[in-house]
Structure 1
């Protein structure tokens, strides 16, 4: 089952797809992407293809070891994301070759459905409350939003009160049965974290995500000691060694990204590491359908899975959405707030290759925003 061809496709709204073909005719798909760095990751995939072409697609772990360690310089978002997409495609091929979903190769299912959450949006507490009610009407039992806009390292009382009022409005609109996740996008300083999180405790959010940028992870223990809100981290950590530095530091939820953190192989290991610390798994996934399909395979096989992110409603992109490149969009039906365990082999999805090739004729150039403070100095986005 030798690998004969590897292609990448830069498709709207901000995704990068990978197609891997074997001499047997089996094709696997992956999603290697760093948002805003699609061209760079595509170049890394092309470099790694020099090793992979002609190799046996079935030796997934050996390829993972070579690709992550054989180039001498290791780690980081670009290399880890390139490996992630390749790894997803290799697992897709192996599942198809054996005619089983990937989760069967990870030990089998431990659940029959995957609980999803959706994003809510709004510039005011009233708009957030309306968005919450709309999400619940669609069937979701968990939502996430970012209460923090542009924030100074030590922001005003008015800014802090607005964040708390936003959370209060969502809780009032959603009731006590709704789970509310907060995403702070690394915009807090340690001091802001210690000041704001205790003010939000009475509304019982399920977790507070990325209160600090990853380079300040050494302060997580201090933050955790000062609040009862569970802390979630991991969208900008790229290996089990990165997660080793935060496990046991008061973190309650890990959020590795299946397209950034080394793919299915590495995220399954990260999940197992987290389980040993009593920490839950909630994979990061504001991305495309292949990344979500890979996430679901790990979710179904991981005992400590909590919630799954998906990109619809995230506000990060315009144009094609999660369903547009799928042959059968119903595989991602979330009408009950859950996605049922997929049963098709490999990743469990069919990619409309014609649509992908057509979309790639007009590649995107998505870039994240650059924010500045009133004095024009750089601000965390």
Structure 2
């Protein structure tokens, strides 16, 4: 572990208390206003949560994968919008830079990402390139001193607030697939970069996405991530294991929150002269939810430890993402059922989590993509 046991315990206690006393009371406000209060961003920055996974030499906490998962188990017990605020800085928005960035790029961006001064955004998905990311059409044409970018990115998390975008574009139009794709670090405000309106989503209010549009957007040669063309897709793939484990941990946390809320309601709610928790069919829903959440927690922790040991965990990380994201959907459905009519009413928040949970099966690779990854890896390992 990167932190000593006592320091780590203090961090987890601090995050748990902050979630309980500060963030949970704001859940309804964030959902109603579709915005996180500015003071919350400042407080989260002061706690160092924007730099959980960023190395200490750049001002981050440098947490191991297991430690990051343990923090996510606490942070995920409230509205996912709060986690999303810091998610890209700790995940896909910084890890490519950490893994493949030049020393100059790391020095320029990582300290500001760790402090929360900058919000990062990962611009890969396009209108016609989602699960098939290698088919992206955004181009980066080489010119004197740099590149000119043209294309549109879609559903880009934190785009309306980002200070820097990791943008994937095709530098070699004659090479189809992943080999002709490069990654660029493009700062907000660069001429030719514009944003579409904030997307109106089914759930996860307060977490904003939008299109990112490049129209003859000129960037210097120094913005090419790692200084190498044709490495962009490889960089994107390298960050997936950590991202999938982080999202899996958030799914576990949301499930545990819903189980706790459902149990408390079942004990308090009376029908036919007794608490509904005494009815076996309600007990079955509670037991199934607890069992599945426990299984997901164990999967995520064990895989995170394997990653920290330097093991190849791509298959196991995909298993975690598939199981945990599907699991939280089932738990959320049971939570609505246990709460009955109350669970369907927006004022009580259960239906909000039901909608929020649905996205986990889509981003960071759909459930179907996880199945393909797992099966192909199994076949490759056998061969």
**What's the TM-score once normalised by structure 1's chain length?**
0.26
Larger Rg, first or second structure (1 or 2): 2
Quick one: higher RCO (CA 8 Å, sep 6+), 1 or 2?
Answer: 1
More helix, by proportion: 2
